[in-house]
Amino acid sequence: MFRRIGTAVVRHPIWTIVAWLIAAVAIVATAPSLPSNSDESSFLPSSYESIKAADLQQKAFPGAFTPSAIALYQRTDGGKLTAADQKDVARITTELGKKHIDQVQKVVPGPPSKDGKYTLTLVQMDSKNAGQPKQADAAKELREQAKALAKGTHLDVKLGGSAAQALDQQDSSKRGEALIGIGTFVIILVTLLIIFRAPILAVLPLVLIGLVSAVANGLIAYATKLFGLQANSSISSILIVVLFGVGTDYFLFLIFRYRESLRAGDEPKQAMINAVDRVGEAIASAAGAVIIAFLALVLSTLGFLKQMGPALAIAVGATLVAGLTLIPAVVSLIGPKVFWPSKSWQKEPQNARFAALGRGVQRRPALTAIVSGLVLLVLSIGTLGYKATFDLASGSMPKTKESMVVQDQMQKAYSAGAAAPTDVYLSSTDGKRLDRSRFTEYARKLGEVDGVAAARMTQVNKDGTTADFTVTLKYEASTDKAIDAVGRVRDVAHSAAPGGTEAFVGGMSSIYKDIDAAVNHDYRTVFPVAALLIMIILGLLLRSVVAPWYLIASVGLGFGATLGATVWIFQNAQGHSGLMFMLPVIMYLFVVAIGTDYNILMIARLREEARAGREPREAAGMALRHAGPTVAAAGFILAATFATMMLAGNSLLSEMGFAVSFGIVVAAFVMAMFFTPSLTALIGHAAWWPGHGDRAGTPGTGAAGSGPAPRDEDRDTTAHDPAGHRG
């Protein structure tokens, strides 16, 4: 199949390129805009208690006051607010209400702090649009107007709350995307220049993947609108890295094999056909593993991950199609001039470093497997200290952003939970009016819960069937202590509810507790499903039921090592209270899926060497010698591009960038180069049972080759050692 694809593309390169350009223009021109949502509650399905509480609030208290923005006032000299200051605050609050800013429904004064140094203005916005860009726009205008109204006074005013956090998160995301995009571009350009010493080859993947990126983003926007998925600003940053990182990987796989065919004496166009034929199955299988792993996120209960899965799968799918059609068409059209001005592509270097590593694996496979396995196991110990944090807002922007400053100052000036109180809604189950005489006792029991600062009944709906009890926790809403406390509040709220009533606990801490439960559900569902589907792909590729087991086990060890290292770096060394709650899920999918890419490339080359008549140990050594440089170059570029996420300046993308880049380094330089080939050498022919795909004369296609394996003198030993060897 891949030979037919290669033949069609190489014989009609102009038509292939024109088809891509037409498709790109049509998709980009007609694609809807990609929406964004930063409202954590929208990530959860309606079956969770916090969402039931929010729905009950909308029905029972449709006009209930829930601040979306909070203006925090303090004197510029840090002293206590004077009577004149209080008048200025009242004036600013009144004036803001008269501005009739879009989305703003009510502006009211808030309580002063106990020390008299702070006071608040509370702003209610349309709850139907919580987390949407229009509320971020409203927060921007509110912030500008409040500062303008405070001019000429002794007041310093800052805007916080969920709408202001959405605004700051949006601005931070744009800055992060720019830094990640520039960093990714520079890393790929410089690394390819070092590898090939050919400017065309350095620039070409950036141009082609840029085109693929436009197509992928358009398709993602269509899918998001068609299936009503939630979007989040962090996805854009991840997409940049996935498209350029994975796209460059597939570009390298193809170019290295194209160069090998040219060195073997093939005519240029035939060389490209052979390259697509030989690496097509490896690229398709690798992309298939990534796509399936990403699609497994559809099983997640979190809207954020449900959106991320299909989006990344579409991006990788578009990259795969480009790798099999667009890239071969363009390169075959240019021909060997693509390597200009370097002439080193015509001659095969000795590649002594990887040859020596290959001989080491061949001679001592047991020692290699034990040492590399121990490295992974030791790093995995760090997973025992893993803790999750749920503050997506502060995790996705620097602490210096205004809304984060407000959040920190409010925690010090007020009860830490005052900025995001917990609400307990007591509702009649039979439609009868609630017995108000029971309210005082119920509120007392809620107030006695460990971790609660205060609890009081604040309102009853018109029908008298639902009462709202406001519970202020002693801790900031996203902390572990607050999440544990809200769990105890739930227990008491449910058990102490009078007969004929039921209680639902809402608020941010309740949402975070449900997110925690949802993530734990995903660990039990997404992880095994993704692993099983990847094993099926490996089994089909290798025609074996043995190899997939130890290949997926090695990738599992790589995941443990990556999470352990991330815990040590961010929790132990940098003092983070925990890692972002979705990090293990994302890391698992990236490390497992993309890490499998390198295992596939290495094991496919090992099979090719075995089919040439070599014994298992020799085949493993030769596979490392020949495929090792390709894995090293691809792994280095992909890890470096993911590491650019650390430039974004927020803990979410910093943790994600480190974890995924470290995981790829482990996958490329530990698993694929040493652990996998050494295990395969030790297991021997049994690794390929029942297909015996390693035996000479076994029919096969793609990465393993169709027909006999190339002679030693025809092999590509160049792919490049980033540490110094050039091809």
The pTM of this model reads 0.75
pLDDT value at position 725? 38
The pLDDT of 7-11, averaged and rounded, is: 92
User: What are the residues whose beta carbons fall under 8 Å from the beta carbon of 104, sequence distance 6 or more?
Assistant: 96, 97, 123, 124, 125, 138, 142
Over 90: is that where the pLDDT of 503 sits?
yes
pLDDT at 354: 83
Rounded to the nearest 10 degrees, what angle do helices 233-263 and 303-324 cross at?
A: 20
How much is the pLDDT for 133?
75
Greater confidence, 145 or 232?
Answer: 145
Q: Provide the pLDDT for residue 710.
A: 41
Residue 231 has pLDDT above 60, yes or no: no
Token output for 213:
């990126």
Average pLDDT over residues 171-179: 70
| pLDDT score recorded for residue 413 | 82
Please provide the average confidence, as pLDDT, over all residues in the chain: 84
Compare 325 and 175 and report the one with higher pLDDT.
Answer: 325
pLDDT band at 100, cuts 50/70/90?
Answer: confident
Say what the pLDDT of residue 717 is: 37
pLDDT at site 704: 36
Higher per-residue confidence, 491 vs 556: 491
Is the predicted pLDDT of residue 256 greater than 90, yes or no? no
Mean pLDDT over residues 636-649, rounded? 80
Within a 10 A sphere around the Cβ of 439, how many other Cβ atoms? Answer: 17
Question: Residue 142: which pLDDT band, with cuts at 50, 70 and 90?
Answer: very high
Please, is 450 exposed, middle or buried when counting C-beta atoms within 10 Å of its C-beta (0-12, 13-18, 19+)?
exposed
Which segment of 68-82, 343-357, 412-426 scores lowest on mean pLDDT?
A: 343-357
Average pLDDT over residues 507-516: 89
Whether pLDDT at 79 is above 70: yes
Place of tokens 């509040």: 489
* pLDDT tens sequence across 283-339: 888 888 888 888 888 888 877 777 788 888 899 999 999 999 999 999 999 989 999
Instruction: Tell me what pLDDT residue 562 has.
Output: 93
pLDDT at 279 over 70: yes
| In the block, residue with structure tokens 């910093």 | 654
Banded pLDDT at 118 (limits 50, 70, 90): very high
Residue 718 has pLDDT above 60, yes or no: no
Round to whole Å and give the CA distance between 533 and 25.
34
Mean pLDDT score, 60-72:
81
For residue 4, the Cα-to-chain-centroid distance in whole angstroms is 36
% of the chain exceeding 70 in pLDDT: 87
Confidence of residue 136 (pLDDT cuts 50, 70, 90): confident
Residue 169 has pLDDT above 80, yes or no: no
Task: Write out the two tokens for 433.
Answer: 């009016």
Judge whether residue 253 has pLDDT over 80: yes
Closest listed residue to residue 663, CA positions, set 518, 582, 549, 559: 559
What is the pLDDT confidence band of residue 708, given thresholds at 50, 70 and 90?
Answer: very low
**Confidence at residue 551, expressed as pLDDT on a 0 to 100 scale:** 87
- Would the pLDDT of 652 be above 60? yes
Q: 222 with 34: CB under 8 angstroms?
A: no
pLDDT at 25: 93
| Size of the chain in residues | 727
Question: Which pair of tokens denotes residue 614?
Answer: 């070599």
Q: Which pLDDT value is given to residue 430?
A: 86
Q: For 345-350, what is the mean pLDDT?
A: 66
Q: Which residues make Cβ contacts (< 8 Å) with residue 284, sequence separation at least 6?
A: 2, 320, 324, 702
Pick from 279-283, 629-633, 690-694: least confident = 690-694
> Could you write out the DSSP letters of every residue in 37-70?
---GGGGS-TTSHHHHHHHHHHHH-TT---EEEE
Per-residue confidence (pLDDT) for residue 719, from 0 to 100:
37
| pLDDT over 80 at 589, yes or no | no
The confidence score (pLDDT) of residue 525 equals 87
700 has pLDDT over 60: no
Percent of the chain exceeding pLDDT 90 equals 35
DSSP secondary-structure letter at 100?
A: -
**Block residue for tokens 């005013």:** 157
